[in-house]
Amino acid sequence: DVKVTQSSRYLVKRTGEKVFLECVQDMDHENMFWYRQDPGLGLRLIYFSYDVKMKEKGDIPEGYSVSREKKERFSLILESASTNQTSMYLCASTPIQGAGELFFGEGSRLTVL
């Protein structure tokens, strides 16, 4: 089974802190994604990556950056956390050759005080 692991299930940070959310997948998938999930808004794409060191902006990249130094790892960075970034963050991956369905991690619930 594909396993997508997010390093932290729950985080509480203060406004202005730098936040790292880590995601690792073990199935050699080329594509990796970061979404945030908010009630009533569904999932919104922050960034995605289709290869090492490659990244593309999604719908809501402002206030976020990403890093993909290794194929299996995709990190989301909040340079200076703000309260409006309190949310559930979901990492996902999918292979290039496939039906396109996403495999999700368990999610990281971030609270910014």
Question: Closest Cα to residue 22, out of 86, 68, 54, 85?
Answer: 68
Question: Of these, 58, 61, 63, 95, which contacts another protein (CB under 8 A)?
Answer: 58
Q: In this structure, which amino acid lies at residue 106?
A: E
Asked if 101 touches another protein (CB under 8 A), the answer is yes
Q: Which is nearer to another protein, 53 or 82 (CB)?
A: 53
Distance separating alpha carbons of residues 21 and 47, to the nearest angstrom: 13
Question: Of these, 50, 72, 86, 111, which contacts another protein (CB under 8 A)?
Answer: 50
Instruction: Report how far apart, in Å, the C-alpha atoms of 49 and of each of 11, 80, 91 are.
Output: 24, 22, 11
| Contact (CB, 8 A) for 94 and 81 | no
Segment lying near another protein (by CB under 8 A), choices 19-27, 28-36, 62-70, 77-85:
28-36
Q: Which is nearer to another protein, 16 or 98 (CB)?
A: 98
Binding site for another protein (CB under 8 A): 31, 33, 35, 40-45, 48, 50, 56, 58, 90, 94, 99-107
